[in-house]
């Protein structure tokens, strides 16, 4: 009470405190029980939210530094986890999941975000029981365990993998909304294993061996014929990805990796290599993975993924919130070798500027590019085009359709266009 007026004294406003200060201030001096911790936190977040987002990251020990702005230390875990504030995730459907290209940095895709494609489920295989059979036109048919393959000299490479159906719906017009929806069936990883040539040398090739049949252990028995002269020197038998064993959806415990070739040739859960004298003409190279041309014929064995690029920032579904400086960022790649150059246009292809390529610039690997730009608040159409070391330049949609028509689903690599309106909204268009 105010002694002079006799009226109640106005309550002083409580000082603003951060969430973390509140947690520290209300935490018992003694290590709390699980129930006590959740009960105290309920007033701030709700018990469910705390349990999901913060409980794994807040330690029970007191903050030794006494700094109220610092978060209590997290407890060690057997396998690392990302911050609950990071929400990038794959876009999944029953037989595929797409990489969030627009949310990534650099060129390496985290294993947990690497795109995935399967044809009839992901098998769970005990590596101790798995075997790789090498037979056919060889001097010595051999059966390898995973442990025996790991005894061979190892090697590793940074390489992209791309599904031949990546961007496939764009043949019929602008279908996808985001970079992930349209281009998310490609990723780059560091792949480790043994060279195919090393293993085949152990079996001994006979003169008639010119093709190789690769078969997987999945329920679909995914099988492809490959020309031996094109895959022998570069192909890898991989048992690791990004420093750890392959994940089951990436072919654990063994997969074939053919640099620059369409993803379906990189047989996962690899169990058999048969050396033959000609293509076996499996289902995957007759009714599937062929390109229907305008005259009714079909291109077979279209192995190489041609030069391609996509601007990931700004891209479809995003919004520029204010005018001024914008760093245009994206990825470029080619199944025929290194990215030599990337050009960017902000006016729908009327004028082009050379983008900066960020190291490393490796063959058959994603390459990061960027360009400085100032948005003036007007409409713009952003495009990028890749030129690889062979001189091949990524085509416009018009150029691609004139040659291939629109009857195909595979190998769409036309220039991607993102239209920015005066409100800063970005959407997929074709020009």
What length is written for the chain?
A: 431
Block residue for tokens 């020197």: 233
How confident is the model at residue 73, as a pLDDT? 75
Cβ-count burial 342-361 (b if 16+ within 10 Å, e if not): bbbbbebeeeeeebebeeeb
CA–CA gap between residue 311 and residue 418 (Å, rounded):
8
User: Do 236 and 184 contact (CB within 8 A), yes or no?
Assistant: no
Beta strand extents in 265-379 (DSSP E only)? 270-276, 291-292, 298-299, 308-313, 324-333, 339-345, 353-354, 356-358, 367-375
Tell me how far apart the terminal alpha carbons of the chain are, to the nearest angstrom. Answer: 75
Where exactly does CATH 3.90.420.10 map onto the chain? 93-299
Closest CA to 224 of 154, 286, 176, 182: 286
Angle at 330 between CA 325 and CA 331, to 5 degrees: 160
One-character DSSP codes across 90-107: -EEETTEEE--GGG--SS
Helices 19-26 + 34-45 axis angle, to 10: 140
Block residue for tokens 């009857």: 407
How confident is the model at residue 75, as a pLDDT? 85
User: Do 264 and 215 contact (CB within 8 A), yes or no?
Assistant: no
Block residue for tokens 């229907």: 292
CA pseudo-torsion sign 222, 303, 204, 139: positive
CA–CA gap between residue 142 and residue 160 (Å, rounded):
30
Q: What is the pLDDT along the chain (431 residues), one digit of tens a residue?
A: 555 555 555 555 444 444 334 433 444 444 444 444 344 444 444 444 444 444 455 444 445 555 656 667 778 899 999 999 999 999 999 999 999 999 999 999 999 999 999 999 999 999 999 999 999 999 999 999 999 999 999 999 999 999 999 999 999 999 999 999 999 999 999 999 999 999 999 999 999 999 999 999 999 999 999 999 999 999 999 999 999 999 999 999 999 999 999 999 999 999 999 999 999 999 999 989 999 998 889 999 999 999 999 999 999 999 999 999 999 999 999 999 999 999 999 999 999 999 999 999 999 999 999 999 999 999 999 999 999 999 999 999 999 999 999 998 999 999 999 999 999 999 999 99
CATH 2.60.40.650 fits 308-429, yes or no: yes
How confident is the model at residue 5, as a pLDDT? 55
- Relative to beta strand 298-299, strand 155-162 is unpaired
CA–CA gap between residue 407 and residue 413 (Å, rounded):
15
Beta strand extents in 94-208 (DSSP E only)? 96-98, 116-117, 131-136, 142-145, 155-162, 186-195
CA–CA gap between residue 223 and residue 231 (Å, rounded):
15
CATH 3.40.1030.10 fits 93-299, yes or no: no
CA–CA gap between residue 400 and residue 136 (Å, rounded):
40
CA–CA gap between residue 139 and residue 115 (Å, rounded):
38
- Kindly state the tokens that stand for 429: 């268009």
- Kindly state the tokens that stand for 312: 């990931």
How confident is the model at residue 3, as a pLDDT? 54
Where exactly does CATH 2.60.40.650 map onto the chain? 308-429
């Amino acid at each position: 009470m105010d002694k002079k007026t006799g009226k109640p004294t106005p309550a002083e406003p409580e000082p603003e405190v951060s969430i973390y200060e509140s947690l520290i201030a209300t935490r018992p001096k003694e290590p709390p029980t699980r129930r006590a911790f959740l009960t105290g936190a309920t007033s701030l977040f709700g018990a469910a939210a705390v349990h999901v987002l913060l409980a794994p990251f807040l330690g029970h020990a007191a903050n030794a530094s006494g700094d109220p702005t610092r978060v209590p230390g997290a407890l060690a875990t057997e396998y690392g986890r990302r911050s609950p504030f990071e929400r990038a995730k794959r876009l999944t459907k029953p037989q595929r999941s797409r990489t969030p290209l627009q949310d990534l940095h650099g060129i390496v895709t985290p294993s947990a975000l690497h795109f995935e494609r399967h044809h009839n489920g992901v098998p769970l295989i005990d590596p101790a029981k798995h075997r790789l059979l090498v037979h056919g036109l060889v001097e010595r048919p051999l059966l390898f365990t995973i442990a025996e393959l790991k005894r061979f000299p190892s090697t590793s490479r940074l390489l992209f993998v791309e599904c031949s159906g990546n961007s496939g719906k764009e043949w019929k017009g602008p279908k996808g909304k985001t970079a992930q929806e349209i281009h998310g069936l490609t990723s780059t990883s560091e792949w480790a294993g043994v060279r195919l040539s090393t293993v085949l040398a152990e079996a001994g090739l006979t003169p008639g061996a010119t093709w190789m049949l690769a078969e997987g252990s999945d329920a679909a028995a995914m099988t492809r014929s490959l020309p031996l002269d094109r895959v022998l020197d570069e192909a890898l038998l991989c048992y690791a990805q990004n420093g750890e064993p392959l994940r089951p959806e990436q072919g654990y415990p063994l997969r074939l990796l053919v640099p620059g070739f369409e993803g379906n040739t990189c047989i996962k859960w690899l169990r058999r290599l048969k050396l033959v004298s000609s293509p076996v003409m499996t289902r995957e190279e007759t009714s599937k993975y062929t390109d229907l041309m305008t005259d009714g014929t079909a291109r077979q064995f279209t192995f190489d993924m041609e030069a391609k690029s996509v601007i990931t920032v700004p891209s479809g579904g995003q919004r520029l919130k204010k005018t001024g400086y914008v760093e245009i960022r994206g990825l470029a790649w080619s199944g025929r070798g290194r990215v030599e150059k990337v050009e960017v246009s902000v006016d729908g292809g009327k004028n082009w500027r050379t983008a900066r390529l960020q190291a490393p610039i490796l063959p058959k690997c994603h390459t990061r590019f960027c360009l400085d730009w100032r948005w003036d608040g007007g409409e713009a159409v952003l495009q990028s085009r890749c030129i690889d070391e062979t001189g091949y330049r990524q085509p416009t949609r018009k150029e691609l359709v004139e040659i291939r028509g629109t009857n195909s689903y595979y190998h769409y690599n036309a220039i991607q266009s993102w239209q920015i309106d005066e409100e800063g909204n970005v959407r997929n268009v074709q020009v």
